[in-house]
A and B are shown apart, each in its own frame.
Chain A
Amino acid sequence: MQIVTKDLEYVYQKGTPFEKRALFHINVTIPSHSYTAVIGHTGSGKSTLLQHLNGLLQPTGGEIRIGDLTVTSEKKGKGLKGIRQKVGIVFQFPEHQLFEETVEKDICFGPMNFGATEEEARQQAKTALKLVGLSEELLNKSPFDLSGGQMRRVAIAGVLAMNPDILVLDEPTAGLDPRGRTEIMEMFYQLYQEKGISIVLVTHSMEEASKYADSIIIMHKGTVYKKGTPKEIFSSPAELIDLGLDVPESVRFQLKLEDKIGKEIAEPSLSIDELVENIFAYIKRVNEK
């Protein structure tokens, strides 16, 4: 399933003294089976854009095509509910949406809203819980007795259990410990590779964006500032730093090193491994001369 936006515009609280434009002429395409990272400052319009992806917000201008469904400012389009099953959104701090008595019931909530029978939903809950790396013993526990990290996973499982084609993640690792972060990010990456679902990741971490995404969208003041592959995006680090955004650690290290020795080593390295390779190759080149 593909999502295409055409001149998408959104104004908050239109017609009130609080009117605020959040999105201007957004044209992006999220192809099927892709991994897209959206980065930008707080207030750049990331979250607003993301809420359009399953029709939670209706554009105030332009249009968005989600699969076969077109949503414009005039019409919401029929079958929005079906879209919400196909496009699962994991909001920031998703553990805040837990409400059921048991973990199992909470995970079943989504699938059953979309018409799954109790039996099917339970099966999906089990699978989803396994996907997020929790043991089945937790199924009958109250979600409020779990640790923060576990709650986060249960909430994510609640969205995964709906079997979405596109998974939209709004800073899914915010507030987690480093190890939890890596585990959850690896889990999403695995889903992307093995199950063939698309992922849209909103993140502040350039390391996550460069490591997992195959394309990156940079949002700035409600517009798409730049889009491209991680290589393209991070090939001009100075530009990003001007925008007040970060670059991956490896790129930063390389920049500093190049600055110190006054020579260019290689293209920006997107991961520590790549950086090691590039420095190694550089040293080898220098030694041979």
Chain B
Amino acid sequence: MMEKMIFGRYIPVDSPLHKMDPRAKLLTIIIFIAVVFLADNTLTYGLLAIFTLAAIWLSNIPIKFLFNGLKFLFWIILFTFFLHIFFTKEGDLLYKFGFIEIYQGGLRQGIFISLRFFFLLLVTSLLTLTTTPIEITDGIESLLKPLKKVGFPVHELSLMISIALRFIPTLMDETDKIMKAQMARGVDFSEGTIKQRAKAVVPLLIPLFINAFKRAEELATAMEARGYRGGEGRTKYRLLKWGMIDNIAILTLFILTILLLLLR
């Protein structure tokens, strides 16, 4: 049921993106998120599209799988697209039907904003698809290290993130299990009026929450039993290695940024 979801999922295949240092990936994505907003004409959007497609190609993740997994997010994009089309009233009037008026500016805005959304979604989902949760948090911890000096709890934060990421698949499995158990008791999750469907969620959510709380407590006990005492003096088993690929990635993004600034 939840099989198609690819949110927060890691796909263990071999690719240049998989080999990258998580810090480089995180930096690339942060910069990318910022520069996406620089684009404002066809050429610059084209550049972003090329970058996004290249990243997908380098990740070795089947495109069909990626798109299937993000299908339900496309509805949100479509929704924002229509919002822009119907409510931005700039430029020439293109089409008029009753109270519906579509302006050139609206169409342009709609397409651009949706594309922006689309690029952001694809690139950020590539991060979790090609990086294990542990790598991601190691990367975050390492990038935030300078903040330690001002007393920011870097280690605790990264621990929280890694626990959250770690339990996404577990919760998904459990959702699936409980859904099935309740379906066996006659619940219909896919049919009925909106009210009926909303009601059908209760027998799913309550057990899910109860189990999540129970698990959190067990985890805390297990960590304490194994002598966990926070990040002070703790060494790492996995060391991060910055390589050539990472230099290339950062350089590419640097060039992308300059091009975007020049062409906008």
Contact = CB atoms under 8 A, between A and B. Distances in A.
B173 to A, nearest CB: 12
Interface stretch (A59-67, A82-90, A214-222): A82-90
A96 B185 contact: no
Interface string B207-236: 100110000000000000000000000000
Interface residues of B, number: 27
Interface in B159-211: 174, 177-178, 180-188, 202-203, 206-207, 210-211
Contacts of B187: 113
Contacts of B87: none
B13 A97 contact: no
B56 interface: no
Contacts of B61: 17
B186 A114 contact: yes
Interface string A54-94: 10100000000000000000000000010011001101001
A91 B11 contact: no
B207 A98 contact: yes
B216 to A, nearest CB: 15
Task: Bin the interface of chain A by size.
Answer: 20 to 34
A165 to B, nearest CB: 14
A268 interface: no
A56 B62 CA distance: 28
A287 interface: no
A69 to B, nearest CB: 16
B186 A17 contact: no
A81 B186 contact: yes
A180 B136 CA distance: 45
A97 B203 contact: yes
B92 interface: no
B65 interface: yes
Contacts of B202: 99
B11 A84 contact: no
Interface string B60-101: 011011001000000000000000000000000000000000
A135 interface: no
Contacts of B206: 99
A88 B203 contact: no
Interface in A88-115: 88-89, 91, 94, 96-99, 109-110, 113-114
A144 B210 contact: yes
A110 B183 CA distance: 9
Residue with the greatest number of chain B CB neighbours at <10 A, chosen from A13, A16, A109? A16
Contact of B181 (A16, A97, A113, A162): A97
A158 interface: yes
A275 B182 CA distance: 43
A103 to B, nearest CB: 15
A51 interface: yes
Contacts of A81: 186, 188
Nearest to B187: A113
Contacts of A189: none
27 contacts: A15-B65, A16-B4, A16-B62, A16-B68, A17-B62, A17-B65, A18-B11, A54-B184, A56-B180, A56-B183, A84-B185, A84-B186, A85-B186, A88-B184, A96-B178, A96-B207, A97-B178, A97-B182, A97-B185, A97-B203, A97-B207, A99-B203, A99-B206, A109-B185, A113-B185, A114-B186, A159-B184
Given A13-B4, A16-B65, A97-B178, 16 more contacts: A17-B13, A51-B180, A88-B184, A89-B181, A91-B181, A91-B184, A96-B211, A97-B181, A97-B185, A97-B207, A99-B202, A99-B203, A109-B203, A158-B185, A159-B184, A159-B185
Interface of A: 12-13, 15-18, 51, 54, 56, 81, 84-85, 88-89, 91, 94, 96-99, 109-110, 113-114, 144, 158-159, 162
